[in-house]
Amino acid sequence: MAPVESYAPRVALVTGAGQGIGRAIALRLADEGVDLALNDIPRNEEALKELAEELRKKGRRAVTLIADVSVEEEVKTMVEKAVEELGELNVMIANAGIAHVATVVDTTVEAWEHVFAVNVRGTMLCYKYAAGQMIKQGRGGRIIGASSVMGKKGCPMVSAYCASKFAVRGLTQSLACELAQHNITVNAYAPGVIITEMTRSPHDKDKAEGKHGDSTKALLGLPSHAPDAEPEVIASIVSYLVKPETYFITGQAISVDGGVYMS
Ligand code: NAP
């Protein structure tokens, strides 16, 4: 692999950008001069529009693309529209994901398949259509997915989620092998406990200390005082991974978890 002179992170597409980690990534990339295609599902359209407005005030171009990442036709159209509106696609952040809390014994096939549809099929479809576009452009690129500390370490009560995030790592490694010849790197972030809606649980307030993130920490076998962080810590690693100088980092799932999982 070699640095590609024509690669620059000019246009990025971020899925699940209406809140949490996706929103923080979009804001950070905009601050660094990247134009943004913002995706989420229909119920989050307002939040997405507000974010787009915020990015435009920063002087960036921003478009909102409502799509369910688990539906192939919608992902295909989403990528096509991003390119139509913003001219190209250099960075794909396949961030959208969902969790389901239940023991294996209580997990229904429907719940299992829903988690896999969004977290695994959704990530694969975003990778697939972004890769196709970047290969066509011939200028390299960056593809980044969302794994998790739970994609490195099994946990009780979240088997479908853990299995799906392990799968994201396998998918990321395979695509990294396939795309090296095109100077496109493929990596994932593997966050620990990040304070977003995903880690908010009504059970948190039942605990003695009762703070946001406690239930997720409990699943990881961690006490309430274990490290957690705001979504900006993930935006920070993404901001690094999209830079031209990172051309030699590929196939990795980079832990950003305060040291919860050490490989
Ligand atoms: P979040 O706050 O729940 O945000 C995820 C966004 O994706 C939400 O707006 C969600 O909409 C949207 N979404 C759900 N299904 C979608 C679909 N089919 N198509 C498009 N968008 C969809 O989650 P987050 O905490 O920011 O997490 C972002 C990613 O990081 C996820 O993949 C998550 O698994 C991963 N992660 C998070 C943590 C953490 O501690 N927060 C740790 C490890 C990994 P709704 O909310 O309306 O469903």
Residues 163-179 pLDDT 10s:
999 999 999 999 999 99
pLDDT of residue 209: 61
Residue whose CB lies within 8 A of the most ligand 1 atoms, among 13, 19, 74, 204, for a mutation test: 19
Torsional sign, CA 73, 185, 15, 227? positive
For the stretch 180-227, pLDDT in tens is 999 999 999 999 999 999 999 877 776 656 799 999 999 999 999 999
Cα 15 to ligand 1 centroid, rounded to whole Å: 9
Dihedral angle sign, alpha carbons of residues 41, 45, 47, 51: positive
**What domains appear along the chain, each with residue ranges and CATH number?**
11-192+230-256 (3.40.50.720), 202-228 (no CATH)
Give pLDDT, residue 213.
93
* pLDDT of 1 above 80: no
For residues 78 and 69, what is the distance between their CA atoms, to the nearest angstrom?
Answer: 9
Annotated active-site positions, please?
A: 161, 165
* CA 204, 209, 214, 219 torsion-angle sign: negative
d(CA 86, CA 235): 22
Contact status, residue 229 vs residue 195, Cβ threshold 8 Å: yes
Residue 5: predicted pLDDT: 83
Instruction: Tell me which residue has its CA closest to atom 10 in ligand 1.
Output: 16
Q: What are the residue ranges of helices labelled H in the chain?
A: 20-31, 45-57, 72-86, 109-116, 122-137, 159-179, 214-219, 232-241
Confidence (pLDDT) at 128: 99
Give residue 32's pLDDT: 97
| Helix (H/G/I), strand (E/B), else coil: 92 | strand
Percent of the chain exceeding pLDDT 90 equals 93
> Looking up tokens 């962080």, which residue turns up?
229
Ligand 1 residue neighbourhood (C-beta within 6 Å): 15-16, 18-22, 39-41, 43-44, 68-70, 95-98, 118, 122, 146, 148, 191, 193-194, 196-199
What is the per-residue pLDDT for 18?
Answer: 98
Taking only the tens place, the pLDDT of each residue in 44-72 is 999 999 999 999 999 999 999 999 999 99
Mean pLDDT over the full length of the chain: 96
Q: In the predicted model, is pLDDT for residue 115 greater than 90?
A: yes
Mutual angle of helices 72-86 and 122-137, in 10-degree steps: 40
Contact 114/98 with Cβ under 8 angstroms? yes
pLDDT, position 2: 73
Percent of the chain with pLDDT over 70: 98
**Residue 207 has what pLDDT?**
61
